[in-house]
């Protein structure tokens, strides 16, 4: 293993954003809960079963493109809604409308609470840059660039494949590996020469499906075994642990 805790053949690092680089996964989970609980309460009345911001978030929405997350959770409750269109108003009971409502909620929370990067992730990204490894951010978020700028870490990454880029190129989101594969291609490395850093189960599956050289699971919520089952080669609580393990 190298000083970065990676196999020697790894030449590039592909980082997820929310929950790996920035402390925004909890913000997203809270926004999903607020949106889904309001929808379910309207639909089912006071006896509705709330959205679980841990179990439902991890299983159905974490790491996925927004509309895929909406569809996945609704399917778990046997709810079918019209697809709608991208410009549906946020009060529309459509897949796109619910997704737009969630996006407004998360942006409001980010504006109010700000964005903070994990210090260990900043250390690791800087170490990867200093070691000459190529670096990309791969996120399903359409707000990726704004979050990177707000967190003060945009400078560490050469390539960004986010929700906007994926839509423009017609790339399916995680758990499909296509966005990670696109990032590796732009960095000029083969998948087997790239390490994937993810905290979402869907991200683990994408890393495994793309035959990447190493898949690092970042366990922020106590799901280490689930990360391993879904494809992680190693699991750490924080990216700085990889630096310490290598010393």
Q: How many CB atoms lie within 10 A of CB 224?
A: 15
Strands 12-15 and 234-236: unpaired
What's this model's pTM, rounded to 2 decimal places?
A: 0.84
Asked if residue 118 lies in contact with residue 151, where contact means CB atoms within 8 angstroms, the answer is no
Cβ neighbourhood burial of 119 (10 Å; 0-12, 13-18, 19+)? exposed
Note if 18 is an active site residue: yes
At 29, the pLDDT band (50, 70, 90 cuts) reads very high
Q: How far apart are CA 218 and CA 10, in angstroms?
A: 18
Q: How many residues does the chain have?
A: 247
Residue 26 binned pLDDT confidence (cut-offs 50, 70, 90): confident
Mean pLDDT value across the chain: 95
Dump pLDDT digits (tens) for 186-214: 999 999 999 999 999 999 999 999 999 99
Instruction: Give yes or no: 86 in active site.
Output: no
Q: What is the DSSP letter of 38?
A: H
- Cα 55 off chain centre by: 16
């Amino acid at each position: 293993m190298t000083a970065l805790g990676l196999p020697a053949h790894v030449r590039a690092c592909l980082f997820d954003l929310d929950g790996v680089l920035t402390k925004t996964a909890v913000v997203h989970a809270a926004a999903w809960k607020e949106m889904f609980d309001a929808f379910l309460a309207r639909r089912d009345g006071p006896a509705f079963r709330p959205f679980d911001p841990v179990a439902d978030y991890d299983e159905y929405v974490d790491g996925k493109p927004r509309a895929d997350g909406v569809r996945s959770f609704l399917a778990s409750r046997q709810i079918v809604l019209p697809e709608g269109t991208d410009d549906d108003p946020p009060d529309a009971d459509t897949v796109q409308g619910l997704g737009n409502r969630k996006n407004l909620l998360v942006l409001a929370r980010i504006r109010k609470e700000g964005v903070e990067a994990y210090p260990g992730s900043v250390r690791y990204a800087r170490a990867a840059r200093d070691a000459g490894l190529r670096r990309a951010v791969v996120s399903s978020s359409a707000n990726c660039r704004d979050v990177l700028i707000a967190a003060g870490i945009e400078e560490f990454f050469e390539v960004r494949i986010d929700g906007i880029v994926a839509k423009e190129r017609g790339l399916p989101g995680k758990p499909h590996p296509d966005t990670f594969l696109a990032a590796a291609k732009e960095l000029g490395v083969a998948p087997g020469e790239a390490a994937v850093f993810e905290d979402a189960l869907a991200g683990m599956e994408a890393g495994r499906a793309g035959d990447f050289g190493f898949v690092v699971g970042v366990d922020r919520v106590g799901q280490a075994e689930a990360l391993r089952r879904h494809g992680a080669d190693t699991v750490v609580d924080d990216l700085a642990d990889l630096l310490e393990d290598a010393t």
